[in-house]
Copies of this chain bind each other. A is one copy, B any other.
Amino acid sequence: MKAVGVVVEYNPFHNGHYYHVQQSKLNTNADVVIAVMSGHFLQRGEPSLVSKWHRTKMALQSGVDAVIELQYVFSTGNATQFAEGAIFLLSAIQCESFAFGSEQGDIEPFLNTANLIEEHADEYNFLIKEFVSSGLSYPVSLYKAYEQLKQKKNQLYIDLSKPNNILGYHYIAAAKKLNCSIKPVTFMRIGAGYHDDIQKDSSIASATGIRKALLDEGNLESSKAYLPEASYKELLLWQQQFGKFVHWEAFWPLLKYAIMRYTPEDLTAFADVSEGIEYALLKHAKNSESFSEFMSSIKSKRYTWTRLQRMLTHLYTGVTKE
């Protein structure tokens, strides 16, 4: 029996994910699809809309054969850690391949990019450091270093400004680093862009768009067209039981309290808290009435929104560096 692995968050499981599951099977002739899925906290340092159990039910009722939880330390790590945890698990349970949707759609440019960066790792890291020192954000520095590296050889490379290409690159780099024989497969994503709002004329919408509709309007009906029946049902059950979907904003009183329990020194014991941000955390936690107000106060060019959210996730859950 052949298994294809997929790396997912399913927040929530929507028609695009359904298509991804089907395409993964088709492109690999696999008998079963195994999903490695984030738990309650996701890679961008956010709580999931509904519990991991609700999300698992959605997946199992829509074509996924098994769901394995990606452990917290990987699911809330940076892209490299996230990918390594996921590919390690898929490889360990002997998936023959793993499949991901991408803006690129062909696997060759991914392999070229992964080889290029691997071969020139030192130079690549040096360039990134230079750009960061010059005051650019980490993602922009990374992108600029890559653009420079691409001049080395006349090959087809992926566009690393596209979010799903970035994820795919990390999966492939992880497989190389872990020396796994698991085979990477990609196909073109269809429908919505990663960050697009719900498009009224298609059955595919991005998870970001669906979340926005659910959180901002609290209106599940407007997302119905973009969800498999099982997803709609699970979301409806959640809404009936808890009244609303989960967002950082609802955790703000607890997070504020968690931060204010500590001295600046204590705060640095928590994972990802470093470089003096503990003082800003304490100062602004005290004065902020909402999560968004707090985030706006601590946000700076040095810290991306995602990096801050991951740090706050660790503070919230109490995960220390140790």
Binding site for B on A (CB under 8 A): 253-254, 257-258, 261-262, 317-318
Contacts and interface: CB of A to CB of B under 8 A. Distances in A.
Contacts of A261: 258, 317-318
Contacts of A318: 261-262
Contacts of A262: 318
Contacts of A257: 254, 257-258
Nearest to A317: B261
Contacts of A254: 253-254, 257
A320 B257 CA distance: 17
A253 B256 CA distance: 13
A262 B318 CA distance: 8
A257 B317 CA distance: 10
10 contacts: A253-B253, A253-B254, A254-B254, A254-B257, A257-B257, A257-B258, A258-B261, A261-B317, A261-B318, A262-B318
A99 B224 CA distance: 72
Q: Give the interface SS of chain A, mostly helix, strand, loop or mixed.
A: helix
A192 to B, nearest CB: 36
Nearest to A266: B318
A127 B207 CA distance: 69
Nearest to A261: B318
Contacts of A253: 253-254
A246 to B, nearest CB: 15
A261 B317 CA distance: 7
A238 B252 CA distance: 24
A279 to B, nearest CB: 18
A262 B317 CA distance: 10
A206 B191 CA distance: 70
A35 to B, nearest CB: 28
Given A257-B258, A258-B261, 8 more contacts: A253-B253, A253-B254, A254-B254, A254-B257, A257-B257, A261-B317, A261-B318, A262-B318
A306 B293 CA distance: 38
Nearest to A263: B318
A291 to B, nearest CB: 15
A261 B262 CA distance: 13
A257 B261 CA distance: 12
A309 to B, nearest CB: 19
A28 B257 CA distance: 46
A251 to B, nearest CB: 9
A317 B262 CA distance: 10
